[in-house]
Amino acid sequence: MSIDVTRLSVKELDALINQAKKRKATLSKRKPVAVVRQKLTQLARAEGYSIAELFAPGPAATPRAVKSAGKASKSKGVSTGKVAPKYRNPSNPAQTWAGRGMQPKWLAEAIGKGGKLEDFLIR
């Protein structure tokens, strides 16, 4: 990082010096990284974890997450996973519906023309 101080005014230089002094004071109060790492490692071990477990990417297994993992969510907009299709369009077998959410247009139109939902069940 380089700052061209030759083009700064006295006021700008004073502001820069004050910022630098504040930053230097903040950094000087910090403990060395090695000391902090050692403390974190000791704390993790004391709680039964490794540093890799605590800082690995991915979802953390918090007690709340573990507790609710087995329960199906009733909240709107929360996906509970894929479900096998229960209904199939006989005229286009690629079109299926699992029975969740709104009926697809092809099924709603077929029922509107007098068909029964049971006629489209996948056996």
What gap in Å lies between CA 42 and CA 32, rounded to an integer?
16
Name the residue ranges covered by the structural domains of the chain. 8-57, 87-120
CA distances to 62, 108, 110, 121 from 114, in Å? 52, 10, 7, 16
* Residue range 44-99, pLDDT digits in tens: 899 898 888 888 776 655 555 555 555 555 566 666 778 889 999 989 989 999 99
* Residue range 107-121, pLDDT digits in tens: 999 999 998 998 899
Which of 12-16, 23-27, 65-69, 78-82 is predicted least confidently? 65-69
pLDDT of residue 104: 93
DSSP 121: B
pLDDT of residue 74: 58
pLDDT of residue 14: 95
